[in-house]
Amino acid sequence: QVGDMTPEFLTPEGYYGFFHYAEKKGYSGAGVYCRTQPDNVQIGFNCPEFDAEGRYVQCDFGNLSVISVYCPSGSSSEERQQAKFRFMDLFLPHLIELKALGREFVICGDWNIAHKEIDLKNYKGNKKNSGFLPEERAWLTRIFDEVELVDVFRKIDARPEQYTWWSNRGQAWAKNVGWRIDYQIATPAFAATAQAVSIYKDERFSDHAPLTID
């Protein structure tokens, strides 16, 4: 919530911060930090159900949009899985619209879907679980093949066992039993400028690790 934010969170030295707060306390939220003041900031993607959950911040800089997204997880219940499917049904047309504007953009965040078998350790045991369902994976494939957006990490790093999320249960982190569910997904021309990718694992901040692309 906005009331929880301190000046250090809102504008750390040298940065501007823009945030989408969930209406429900302690729930989701998204943000973007940038060194340059954007020309325009859009909070939410004009979808009441999911805009109430704080899932989308778009900052425009000239012809480039930098977007932070937090896609729903469906793992807690069947009800949340159905909400995730509704989000997918609404977000794909939004991406198609964005692409049609002719702008360059990159969408960074937790997409809560591992795309291919290489993207999670235990793919055989998760084919019926949220995050690796066939329809979720097919949806991501449509984003890459039909909308013609690029999974920037995979463009540069094709190695297996590159994960960004580990369950807090058991020894998942220690044994690297992870999932790659955090992405930077970009228009082809912007994706082509990527030089290097890294997943920061020297320290553990949460169940996710920071994904950096230069």
Cite the active site residues: 110
Distance between CA atoms of residues 40 and 163, nearest Å: 33
Residues 165, 179: contact at Cβ < 8 Å?
yes
Distance between CA atoms of residues 173 and 101, nearest Å: 41
Query: Which residue type is seen at 178?
Result: G
Distance between CA atoms of residues 80 and 141, nearest Å: 22
Distance between CA atoms of residues 148 and 141, nearest Å: 10
DSSP letter assigned to residue 72: P
| Residue 200, H or E segment | none
DSSP letter assigned to residue 45: -
Q: Could you tell me the sign of the dihedral formed by the alpha carbons of 126, 129, 134, 137, in that order?
A: negative
- Given the DSSP bridges, would you call strands 182-186 and 178-179 parallel, antiparallel or unpaired? unpaired
